[in-house]
Every structure is written in structure tokens, then in C-alpha cells.
Amino acid sequence: CAAGIKPEKEGMQMLPFSAVPLWVQLIKTSSNIIIPSVEDLPEEWRAEKKLFQDQAIQSLAAVPMVHEKTVVGFVGFDSVLNKRTWKEEEITLLRVLTDLLAVAFQRKSADEALRLEKKRFQILIQHAPFGLLLINSEGEFTYANQRFTEIFGYDLADVPNGKTWFKKAYPDPSVRVDAISAWVNDLNTYGVGEKRPRTFEVQCKNGRRKIINFIPVGLETGENLVAFEDITDRSSLEERVRQTQKMESIGTLAGGIAHDFNNLLQAMGGYIDLLLLEKNSEHQDWPKLKAMRKAVDRAAQLIRQLLLFSRKAHAERRIVDLNQEVEQAVRILERTIPKMIKIELHPGRGLWAVNADPVQIEQMLLNLGSNASDAMPEGGKLIVETENATLGREYAETQAVSIPGMYVLLKVSDTGCGMDRETVKHIFEPFFTTKEVGKGTGLGLASVYGIVKGHGGYITCYSEQGQGTIFKIYLPALDKNVADKGEGEEFDQPEGGTETILVVDDESDIRDMLGEFLRHFGYHTLKAASGEDALEIYKARNFAVDLVILDLNMPGMGGRRCLDGLLSINPKVRVLIASGYSERGQAREAVSSMAAGFIGKPFQLNELLGKIRDLLDRI
């Protein structure tokens, strides 16, 4: 401004468009505005004229400033001392100034847009759900986002370059060589902008191992941008699904073979029982027959164990001496775990009886023994102890036992590598395992926990790294009077009868054995090899059949449809399902369909007699 002239820039910048409507209209159309005399402005310029006169402006010229075909302002000269005619060179100067200012404005706008874009990009990168790492052409790590540190625990101070990264992330030299080889091979194979995903197991700063999906991309600058996705949980879930499918396959296999095996065992066990009926405990063959009977029972237990594993059988508890079950499990462990592991057994004297499923108790001990073996790869001691334990309230609470009372304590300890406290917190969780991939299902200790809880018991674990592990299992003890009722070696002979029983089974050995056995106890027997034969015989006898013993898995119409046929003939027919399937498994539907009862193969014949008598004596 000239000397003595007050600047009006701020007043003009804050001026609303409504105050100068014609001026704004002309500027918007990119028109130059040249006014030699404000005083001579026509009536339509009255708003602008008043504004100019209020600022003592006598003459002015203005040129619009255009940025990217849009008017963003104007640049002008004004005169307050006198009226004047604006020269062409003055207007040209204004045009040059507006062009320069437009370029500056454009640059400032671009810089601001770039700044905002950079800020948005930084926020996106820093808070991305996956790790990001920028590596320059020299292999130096120049940037790592927050998620990178969250995944691995490392920051750029820990891993400033690829050499340090490979050493820390892959402490196993052989694995490190594979990882470096894959990285170098991909660098030489893929071009700029091409993704080259790889999956590796990486050791983090805290020692934990994670499964990471690496997605490197080469940039035109020679740098590499690497994205890291932690897929540990997803991989674990996929492995659980595969494990579940495998378990289901084993379960299907177990269910398929159980019936055939149980039929074989039923025939063998049945004939042994017939021979036992003809002898007393003083006969010279009695011990041999009892040993054979015990072997059949053990084989049946193995089948039940297979079914239990596949969740197609239910627990069968009875009064047991825990010392006997432990001794039997230890004998199995001696044959299955490495010889450099010494097993010590310390059975308690006068041990109270417990109500337990022998198969589940054995499974529990085998799982604990197997875990202990894995913890002692170089050898050690596995110690199994039993003792009676009467727990008062205060002591019970220290042992994680909520109900004080009489218990039988089973203690399994080893001298293995032990576990830290954090690991101990999770050992009973399904699918939790510290073993290598493919070396464990994570279900062993979970099933131990389930078995103990299913028996109304309690389990604790104490372990220290390098000091071994101790499991304490408390099983409720039975009252001595109750336990005494479960003792006895003699072969009891239940009451027989004179009723007519129809035996339906496609196995001739079982039909013949049952027929002979039932006749021995006074029953009249009829035999059918199929469901179709059974219906014909039942119709021909005109309801003169008191009980039907029916197998389920037979050729033709099978047992299930045969049962429906018998019920349609006589809704009051008494049918005892005799099957190698579990009552709570494949046989459930048949048992729930008006069958009078169920007995699982292989059964002892005195058990069958008791079941028959019970059904026939019902009103």
C-alpha cells in the first residue's frame, strides 16, 4: 500500500459473497474486472459501489485466479488517491501474478493432500490387523508396525536386519537353512509386485512358537514389504477338526467290528460258562476254565475300551480293588514304555474298595504313564502309589477336594523334565499339548480329568521344570460293608424256569450255545437264524413264546425291523435285545422302541439268567 493508506486485505477476505453479487458473478465466469471510476458505476453495481466508497477506493482492476479450471480467488489493484485508467501491462502483470499464485496454490493443495494421505496410510499401517515389515535392498529392517511387535515380541532394536531375524526366529539351524533358502529362491523367481506367500513356524521373543503366513512383495525401489499373518489358532482349529474326523473314523471302525468280535467272545465265554456249570471249584479243570473265562472278560474289556475311546459305550462301574487295577495297568506299561524307564509300584495295604469302571481306570493310568514316558526321553523313574486317605475339611481344601471324607489316593509321579506353572494351568484343557506337532492329541489328560470327575473324584498336579511331575487322584472310597458284598469267587447259579424262549441270532454257535444253556436251566427253547424266521415261528406258536432274545445285526430284515414286526403282532411281546453294540450307542433306538430290556455281548450266562428271570417275573 502507498504511504498513509490502510490495508483492507482482511476486510475483503472475510467479505460474504452476498455483499458483492455482481462482482462474484463476473469473477466466477473468469472475467477480468476493470473499473476506472467507482463513482461512475451504474445502478446494478450499487452494492459494490457502496463497499468501494466506504474504503475510499476510486478505481480498481482485478483478475480471477483459476486452479484446475475452477476459480479459487482473484488478484487486484486499487487506487484510493485518484481515478485512473489501467494500462495493459498492469493487467498483464496481474495475470502473471494469478498464474504464479495458482501454481503455488496447486502445490500447497497437493502437499496438504499428500500429508493427509500419508497420515491416513501411517494410521492404517500402524493399526493393521497383520504385521508389516519394510526391508531395504541391503537387508536392513527400516520399518515395523505395532502388530509386528505384538505377534513376535521383537522390535527393530531386537531384529535390525535379516541376519539377526533368521537367527532368532529359527534357532534350529536346519530349519533356518530351509527358511533362508526359500527366501532367496523367491527373490530370484518372483518379479516386482508379485506376492510369494510362505508358511513357517517361528520362535517368538518369549520362546513361544507360532505358525506364521509370510506374504512378501518386491517393490520398484528394491525394497521388500512383508506382511505377517498369525495363523496359529486357525491351524490349531484345523488340526482339531482333522483330529475329530480321525476320531470319528476310528469310532466308525470300532462300531463296525465290535459286533463281530463280541459274537466270537460270546460263543467262547458261553461254552466256558457251560463247562463251569458242570464242575465245582474243587475240580482240576476249574482254575483253567476260570483263567479262560478271565481272558475272555479281558478281551471283552478291550472291546469296551475301544468303544469307550470312540464314545460309543458307557461306563460300567463295579466294586473294584484299585491295587489290582493298578497292577494290571503297570504290567501293560512295562511292555509299552521304553526299558530305560524304571517303574516302581507301591500298593497301599488294606486299601478301601472303590466303585469304578476298570476299563476307564486302566485307560487313565495308561494315559498318565504315557505322558510320564514322554517327559523322560533319556530315562528315569515312574512311581505309582496307592493309599487310603481320610481328608478333613481344612486339608481337603488344600488338596482341591471340595467334600471331606474317605478317599483312595492314587499318586503317579515321574522324574521327567517337568512343567512351568503356566503350562500346569492348562494341562487338563482339551487339545492343549506341549508336544511336537503330530506327537500328541491334547486329549490324554483331558480324558483323565473326565474319568476322575465322572467317578466323583478329584485330581491335582504339581510340577517344576527339571524336577518332575506328581499327579494325585482322589477316588471316593466305599463303605466296607458295601465293599464286602462284591467279593466272592464261586460261580453263582441263578434261578431257571420252564417258560418258552425264542433265540434269534444269525450266528449258529451262539444259537446252539444259548439253547443248550437255557435247556440246562429248564427252559423250552426255539431258535431262529433271521428276523424273517423269527416272525414265522412266533406266528406259528400263536403267542406261546414268553420271551424273545433278539440280536440286532443280522442279514435280511435285521433285528430292528424284526422287533417292529413282533410288536405289530403282539404289542405285549417281551423282547430282550442281546447285542455287541452299546445300549447307549447303535442299540439305543431299538431299546427305546418298546424292547423289554438289553444285555450287551459278550455277557456271562449267569448274568443272562438273572436278566431273563427279571423280565419274566415282571407283572
Q: What is the dihedral of CA 197, 202, 205, 206, to 10 degrees?
A: 130
DSSP letter assigned to residue 348: P
User: What percentage of the chain has pLDDT greater than the value 70?
Assistant: 82
348 phi and psi, to 5 degrees?
-75, 150
**Strands 597-600 and 575-579, bridge-based pairing:** parallel
Is the pLDDT score of 14 beyond 70? no
**547 bridge partner residues:** 501
Cα–Cα distance for residue pair 596/615, rounded to 1 Å: 7
Q: Which run of H or of E encompasses 464?
A: strand 458-464
* pLDDT the model gives residue 384: 93
- Decide if 41 contacts 57 (C-beta within 8 A): no
Q: Is the pLDDT of residue 256 over 70?
A: no
Q: What is the pLDDT of residue 13?
A: 56
pLDDT of residue 352: 92
Strand 458-464 relative to strand 380-391, pairing? unpaired
Check whether 387 has a pLDDT greater than 80: yes
Q: Are the C-beta atoms of residues 560 and 590 closer than 8 Å to each other?
A: yes
Task: Please state the rounded mean pLDDT for residues 305-314.
Answer: 50
- CA trace torsion 321, 324, 326, 330 (10° rounding): 180
Alpha helices in 232-339, H assignment, sequence order: 232-277, 286-309, 322-336
CA Rg value for the chain: 45
Query: Residue 578 — very low, low, confident or very high, per pLDDT cuts 50/70/90?
Result: confident
d(CA 30, CA 11): 22
Task: Please name the helix (run of DSSP H) or strand (run of DSSP E) that holds residue 98, with its range, or none.
Answer: helix 88-126
User: For 57-71, 214-228, 462-476, 537-551, which range has the lowest pLDDT when averaged over its residues?
Assistant: 57-71
Q: Output 572 or 401, whichever has higher pLDDT.
A: 572
Q: CA 248 to CA 156: how far, in whole Å?
A: 47
Q: How confident is the model at residue 530 (pLDDT cuts 50, 70, 90)?
A: very high
All domains of the chain, ordered by start, with CATH? 9-123 (3.30.450.40), 131-230 (3.30.450.20), 315-489 (3.30.565.10), 500-616 (3.40.50.2300)
What pLDDT, on the 0 to 100 scale, is given for residue 119?
78
**3 state SS of 138:** coil
Q: Are 601 and 572 in contact, with CB atoms under 8 Å apart?
A: no
Query: What's the CA gap between 111 and 588, in Å, rounded?
Result: 76
Q: What is the mean pLDDT of the chain?
A: 81
| CA 354 – CA 316 distance, rounded (Å) | 13
Residue 393 pLDDT exceeds 70: no
Residue 311 has pLDDT above 50, yes or no: no
Interval 118-146: pLDDT, tens: 777 777 777 777 888 899 988 899 988 88
